[in-house]
């Protein structure tokens, strides 16, 4: 049985993989970090469901000039083969320019011994432009 520390360490490691994969510009590999029926929910958007749609979404971030995603873990709780994570994110462009920052909640699911993002919800902290 995994301990809380084991789950926390596994999620932190998965986040590091997510960040490095994004910085390499590989949207397909990012999508493979999600479950087959994974969902990504961003502000002002609908449900992005499935790996192909998730790949397209992250490719669009890259096309808009996002170079890095930085994640800060605030809380991880394990529930058997699922876990929840709460944290902060920053999207950076060229030269570390902050393009967006906010909060996130991820529901993780363990599949074949690997933690996969199952539901990924982000909420910007940037002011709405009028």
In the chain, the number of structural domains is 1
Of 121, 128, 127, nearest to 34 by C-alpha is: 121
- Give the domain extent around 35: 4-124
pTM beyond cutoff 0.75: yes
Q: Count the Cβ atoms, other than its own, within 10 Å of residue 1.
A: 5
pLDDT tens digits along 90-108: 999 999 999 999 999 999 9
pLDDT tens digits along 48-78: 999 999 999 999 999 999 999 999 999 999 9
Task: Look up the CATH number of the domain holding residue 94.
Answer: 3.10.450.50
Q: What is the DSSP letter of 27?
A: H
- Distance between CA atoms of 109 and 79, rounded to whole angstroms? 10
């Amino acid at each position: 049985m995994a301990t809380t520390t084991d789950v926390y360490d596994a999620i932190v490691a998965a986040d590091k993989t997510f960040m490095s994969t994004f910085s390499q510009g590989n949207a397909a590999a990012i999508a493979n970090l999600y479950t087959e029926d994974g969902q990504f929910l961003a502000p002002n958007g609908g449900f992005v469901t499935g790996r192909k749609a998730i790949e397209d979404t992250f490719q669009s971030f890259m096309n808009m000039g996002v170079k890095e995603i930085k994640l800060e873990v605030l809380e991880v709780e394990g529930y058997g083969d699922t876990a929840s994570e709460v944290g902060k994110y920053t999207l950076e462009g060229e030269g570390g320019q902050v393009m967006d920052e906010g909060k996130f909640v991820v529901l993780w699911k363990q599949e074949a011994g690997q933690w996969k993002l199952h539901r990924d919800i982000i909420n910007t902290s940037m002011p709405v432009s009028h």
